[in-house]
Amino acid sequence: MQEKTCCVIGYGEIPADRWDCVERELEREVSLALKDGYRTFLVEYRESAGALFAWQIARRRRGYPDIFLELMISQSCEELDRELLLRCSAVKPLRDISRQNYQLSVTRYLIGQADRVIAVCGERADRDTAYAIDYARTMERDLKIIKI
């Protein structure tokens, strides 16, 4: 059986009044992914949707010991949650990417590896998230969109 891989993208900030709603929607999508047989999860560490997603996967590892969580971190990532790092299966430092091409490279890597893409965005997606959604569609990925 081929391993199923899921990632999350979402490059905008989540407003404080929408945080709980986004968290519930991500939890629902994670539950569906697990039910559909996804066990490999990729995420870029950020203080928004990526952090929420990573924590939800990390907490689920008790019930699903076969979960593989890969956390990607940038060289400029100053504040990392040590507890989250310890719960990850792998941490991939993104050092060899120029600042100019950083977001494009991360987006292509995540979507290139994933079968399912969960996108978190506002009513109007920012430029990076809009590109990621278009790229996921072009790559014919199973795309789930959570509107903030």
58-98 residue pLDDT tens: 999 889 999 999 988 875 555 667 777 778 888 887 766 56
Average pLDDT over residues 123-147: 92
Q: What is the pTM of this model?
A: 0.88
Domains of the chain, first to last: 4-147 (3.40.50.450)
Distances, alpha carbon 121 to alpha carbons 44, 50, 76, 116, 142, in Å? 15, 12, 23, 16, 16
Checking if the pLDDT of 29 tops 80, the result is yes
32-54 residue pLDDT tens: 999 999 999 999 877 688 888 99
Instruction: Give the burial string for 65-100 (b: 16+ CB within 10 Å, else e).
Output: eebebbbbbbeeeeeeeeebeebbeeeeebeeeeee
Distance CA 7, CA 17 (A): 24
